[in-house]
A and B are shown apart, each in its own frame.
Chain A
Amino acid sequence: MLEIKGLEVKLEEEDKQILKGVDLSIEPGMVHAIMGPNGSGKSTLSYVLSGRDGYEVTGGSATLEGQDLLDMEPEERAALGLFLAFQYPVEIPGVGNMTFLRTAVNAQRKARGEEELSAADFLKEVRAKAKSLKIDADMLKRPVNVGFSGGEKKRNEILQMAMLEPKMCILDETDSGLDVDAMKLVSEGVNALRSEGRSFLVITHYQRLLDHIKPDIVHIMADGRIVKSGGPELALEVENNGYADILAEVA
């Protein structure tokens, strides 16, 4: 599904190398997790994959189902099936959540040469999916993320994911700012989307999210590289011993 080879990235504005050769291969249907200390390059990886400005790729490649992601505009990557759940979802006053969702869904369908969803079909689908994420009609009507609590914003991200039905989902520190109940709700939403054709890359500091979204493979990232990969037990090791032991071991 997602194939990253020797990816090297620096900041556009300053001469600072953030990613120093990342290799990662995610098969369809798999859930990978990336853990790592602050500043290891986890969020940069998610932004570079989704096409945010401000980064320069200096080496390596990233493909989604064989197609070169790095040359594409963010909206082209989205239409291809890439989705990034933001760590800090953006507030957009004056644009209704429903309008935004419908614009996004139809823009992607149009880009893929599919017919736009009718207003009635869209409404039916969004209501059903919102209900399972405990998003009420009021939240759907309100401007995008404006006045939403931390938990509501993250649930709204998952609702967008559910509506857009991407193939490759990247969750950037989705657990940040969530209490236990909200994390459970968000995780249930993500788990409901797990399927054979859909892969996930879960970026997190802490193991606790991975209690709810169980990964197949866990990677440890440090200083712009993946330094260790293993099964779910690797996340427990981090939880018990911190990053220091692992980093010392691979140094």
Chain B
Amino acid sequence: MALAKLKSDTTEARLAWVTLPTGAAWANAARADAMARVREMGLPTKRDEYWKYTDPTSLTDAGAGKAALFHSDEAALFDAVDRVRVVFVDGVFDAEASDDLTAEGLEIERLADAMAADIHWAKDVYGVLEARGQKPVERTLAALNTAMATDGVVIRATAKAVKPVNLIYLHRDETSDAVLHNLIKVEAGAEVTLLETGPAAARFSKQLEVDVAEGGTFHHVRAQGRDHERRAVTHCFARIAAESTFKSFTLTFNGVLTRNECVLEIVGDDATAHVAGVCVGDGKDFHHDDTVFVTHDAVNCESRQVFKKVLRNGATGVFQGKILVKEGAQKTDGYQISQSLLLDDDSQFLAKPELEIYADDVACSHGSTSGAIDETALFYLRSRGVSHDDARNLLTLSFLAEALEEIADESLAEELRDRLEGWLARHR
């Protein structure tokens, strides 16, 4: 087939630039396997069903486009939080800027060190969860990340961690093309909170594989930086065991192109998996895509997908979300909502909500809406003396509230809410 040939040619052209890093034998094998997956699936093009709304070209090009460095007077996020800081500059670990990587209840290592060790638990996670997540939807860019990544962090939670770990991604080079791969293993009954902040690079490919054992708890709060020209493709693959909890929230400001994929597989009974996101985008260059796939393969589990987007001045938002309930996954409670607030006629929201259910005793619901600010509510607030802009911002925050409520830690939620207020106040 001409199309398949074209795709394979494009893939080979891109891969000509790639040299695989080397490490322990298992690591080399994992990378080679990932590269084989890349070749088999081919890099995505706009003709692929899952890339219909988002053009992957700038993510698959050989080099990163230029992204001007963004300077802000704002204090760094989560500055007041007592946390373990792990700093990456343009995708490279910075030991000096980072805290000492020892923390109660946690084992934190550099990915490169773990991948060099002959025996390491990372062997059972690295590229393993990603490979599981390649069916039924191909995610070639994730496989490419698995093949190429040299840096990242590897975290094992052995108990209830006292401090959250904050991965801080700094951007200092206008053409940096960063690839990071992080692994998290939450042992039975253990608990950890992962914070991710910062723009990272001109182009950023980032993957997170999370393995949550029975009764474990994983909290994830991420804020993608306020930079205007950043491009990012991120993947999160999680395997969620019985009675465990997985909760992930992402806030995205600006950026040219962001594709966040989240692939959750619930494999044990009575587990909870929530994934939520807020994005605020301004301008016709803004394109944000949330692609989510939640698989229920166990009994009596609950999943929630809550995604809210504020789009203005010609911005584009995409949501592709699926709930797959496998045979026998009875008593599943699945919920999915994706909504956009379009602040003008030029902005657009493209949504593809999907449900696929093979069990008969489940409660699944999904909804998707896009709309403008409610004029009656706006008048109501103004009639009480609130200015037009403040009223609009209050109603915007009101629209986002359901997603922000997905953040379990109220002080983290409050901080992100403040940032959102600041963003709204600046974009009048």
The chain A residues found within 8 Å of chain B, CB to CB, are 50-53, 73-75, 77-79, 83-84, 86, 89-90, 92-95, 100, 103-105, 107-108, 111, 143, 160, 164
Contact = CB atoms under 8 A, between A and B. Distances in A.
A79 B401 contact: no
B387 interface: yes
6 pairs of A and B residues whose beta carbons are closest in the complex: A94-B401, A78-B385, A108-B385, A74-B382, A104-B384, A94-B398
Interface in B223-278: none
Given A78-B382, A90-B380, A92-B398, 14 more contacts: A74-B383, A75-B386, A78-B384, A89-B380, A92-B377, A92-B381, A93-B398, A94-B398, A95-B394, A95-B395, A95-B401, A100-B394, A103-B386, A105-B385
A143 B399 CA distance: 12
A84 B395 contact: no
Contact of B390 (A84, A93, A107): A107
23 contacts: A51-B382, A52-B383, A53-B375, A73-B382, A74-B379, A74-B383, A75-B382, A75-B387, A77-B383, A78-B383, A78-B384, A84-B383, A89-B380, A90-B374, A92-B394, A100-B394, A103-B394, A105-B385, A107-B386, A143-B398, A143-B401, A160-B384, A164-B384
B402 interface: yes
A53 B379 CA distance: 8
A92 B387 contact: no
A201 to B, nearest CB: 15
B72 interface: no
A104 B386 contact: yes
A89 B381 CA distance: 11
Given A103-B390, A107-B390, A79 B385 contact: yes
B161 interface: no
A166 to B, nearest CB: 9
B46 interface: no
A78 B382 CA distance: 8
Q: Which of B382, B388, B390, B397 has the most CB of A within 10 A?
A: B382
Contacts of B114: none
B400 A75 contact: no
A94 B400 CA distance: 8
A148 B86 CA distance: 47
B400 to A, nearest CB: 7
A86 B385 contact: no
A102 B353 CA distance: 39
Q: Which of B385, B386, B387 has the most CB of A within 10 A?
A: B385
A16 to B, nearest CB: 19
B240 to A, nearest CB: 28
A74 B376 CA distance: 12
Contacts of A52: 379, 383
B398 A75 contact: no
Interface string B353-390: 00000000000000000000011110111111111101
Contacts of A107: 384-387, 390
A77 B384 CA distance: 9
